Structure 1
Amino acid sequence: MSYLRFQNVSKHFRQNEVLKDLDFSIHKNEFVSIIGPSGSGKSTIFNLIGGILSPDEGEILLDGQCINGKRGFISYMPQTSSLFPWRTILENVLLGQELQGKKDVKAAREMLEIAGLSDYENAYPHMLSGGMKQRAAFIRALLSPQEVICLDEPFSALDELTRFEMQKWLVDMWESHRRTILFITHNIEEALYLSDRVMMLSAKKAKVVSTIEVPFERPRHESILLDERFIQCKRDVYYQLVGEVK
């Protein structure tokens, strides 16, 4: 049974129709990546789920409830960590809970320890590396009470080695603390390594043109990136994506 559902959702900005009859479903605790050409409406989808925008047509359903234009139902992690510079790392990761009126400091400290950040709980964001900030931002998302987490290219600003370390860490954390995740990326390898499914959007007036069930069991080891089946799957997605760009 679907947990998050886009039901014939359309959205336009003046004369520019970004989404047209977009229809898809996400299951509870599923990890789904969204890829597509630049300008295909990926971030608009997140803004609609988060209630920042309302659809012009159609419905967005979360656990059977229409959430069109309603806020507070998702936890969101943007491309940058967006940590408040005047708050310590512990205070930053507790922010989502704080906004809901309760804080679980013990759970926050346990997750900071798992993330290798226990020595930095009283430090400020400027004292951390890019990867450490992103780990703190994801912990903040996990600690927030919402069941759906939207990640908008969270590793795009990191160097290649740090990015891969973050991917492995994200998979481990998600395996331990299952939540429903929607993940935007332009990186095909990243999408296949992390996800249960990959949804590919068309260009303008975005629709889901293809959904790929990632055929690799979990937990996934980094050696899978060199597996011929993985490489072939990457080729298939690449050629579909190139076809959409053209």
Structure 2
Amino acid sequence: MGILEINHVSKSFNGRKVLDDISIEVQEGEFVTILGPSGSGKSTLFHLIGGLITPDEGSIMLDGGNITGKRGSISYMPQQPALFPWRTVLENVLLGQELHEKKDVEKAITMISKAGLSGYEHSLPSELSGGMKQRVAFIRALLSPQSLICLDEPFSALDDFTRLEMHQWLLSIWADFKRTILFVTHNMDEALFLSDRIIVLSSNPAKVIHEVKVPFERPRESELLLKNEFLAIKKELYQTVGRA
């Protein structure tokens, strides 16, 4: 039994089915990516897991409990950093803990340092670059007490060089803390570089059509993106998504 179990979930809006009989299981400490074309219902699935909307059919289980339609069960990082502009870096990363009355300032400062943001603890978001803001948002998600972190295309707005830098940073932080992550993207390089497993969705409506167990050992370096084995799996994914 996984830490997260999505069981035969379907969802329609205005008579149009967006998700069709989706079943996904994520194990503790896994990094699982949901890959699919734009508009394939990936974000809708996250909204269901987060309890923002309820499925028409099926259930969602987390840590053995039914969280269908319940909010506050997961830690969520959206596409934009969504930092409060009037709160400092330290105050922003502590927000998730504050909401659960479990504030650990010392650990937060340690995480900020690991993120390469020492000296910015009392800076406002307006003083940070795009990549720095994303680091703050991820630390906030990582420090939140929930067992599952959902990352919704968090690097889509970054340029290619900053994105790769963020991938390597994310993996280094994740290796230290091994939180369970469910990640959404339509970028195949990103999915392959980061994940333990990749679940491919079709579109109109979304169904699970393929799954890849990523064979590359960790830690992973940027040179991996040019290796033949990496490119072969990327081709497999490209052909699968192209048929979706």
TM-score w.r.t. length of structure 1:
0.97
For 1:149, the equivalent position in structure 2 comes to: 149
CA contact (8 A) 2:18 2:205 kept: yes
User: Which aligned runs of 4 or more in structure 1 are off by greater than 6 angstroms?
Assistant: none
The size of the alignment, in residue pairs, is 244
Within 5 A, what are the aligned runs for 1:96-245?
96-244=96-244
For 2:81 and 2:75, how far apart are their aligned partners in 1? 13
State the partner residue of 2:78: 78
Question: What is the CA–CA distance in structure 2 between the aligned matches of 1:24 and 1:33, rounded to whole Å?
Answer: 11
What residue is the counterpart of 2:24 in the other structure?
24
- Report the Cα distance in structure 1 between the residues aligned to 2:49 and 2:185, rounded to whole angstroms: 17
| Secondary structure class of the residue paired with 1:118 | coil
For structure 1, the residue ranges without an aligned partner over 5 or more in a row are none
User: What residue ranges of structure 2 are gaps of 5+ in the alignment?
Assistant: none
SS at match of 1:200: strand
Residue 23 of structure 1 deviates from its aligned partner by 1.0
CA distance in 2, matches of 1:2, 1:91: 33
Map Cα deviations across residues 42-91 of structure 1 (whole Å, 9 max, x no partner): 00110001000111111111122111100111011011110000000000
* Alignment TM-score, normalising by the size of structure 2: 0.98
What is residue 48 of structure 1 aligned with on the other side? Answer: 48
Partner AA of 2:49 in structure 1: I
Measure, in 2, the Cα distance between the counterparts of 1:40 and 1:225: 25
Deviations 1:123-177 (A, max 9, x none): 0000000000000000000000011011111011111111100000001111111
Shift, 1:193, TM fit? 0.3
**2: CA distance, partners of 1:128 / 1:152:** 21
Offset at residue 102 of structure 1 (A): 2.3
Q: Distance in 2 between matches of 1:64 and 1:14?
A: 32
2:217 partner amino acid: E
In the alignment, what sits opposite 1:95? 95
Identity rate, percent:
59
Aligned equivalents of 2:229, 2:157: Cα separation in 1: 28
What is the Cα deviation at residue 197 of structure 1? Answer: 0.4
Give the letter for the 1:67 counterpart.
I
Segment of structure 1 superposing worse, 36-45 or 188-197: 36-45
Match of 1:68 in 2: 68
CA distance, structure 2, for counterparts of residue 23 and residue 138 of structure 1: 27
User: d(CA) in 1 for partners of 2:21 and 2:80?
Assistant: 30
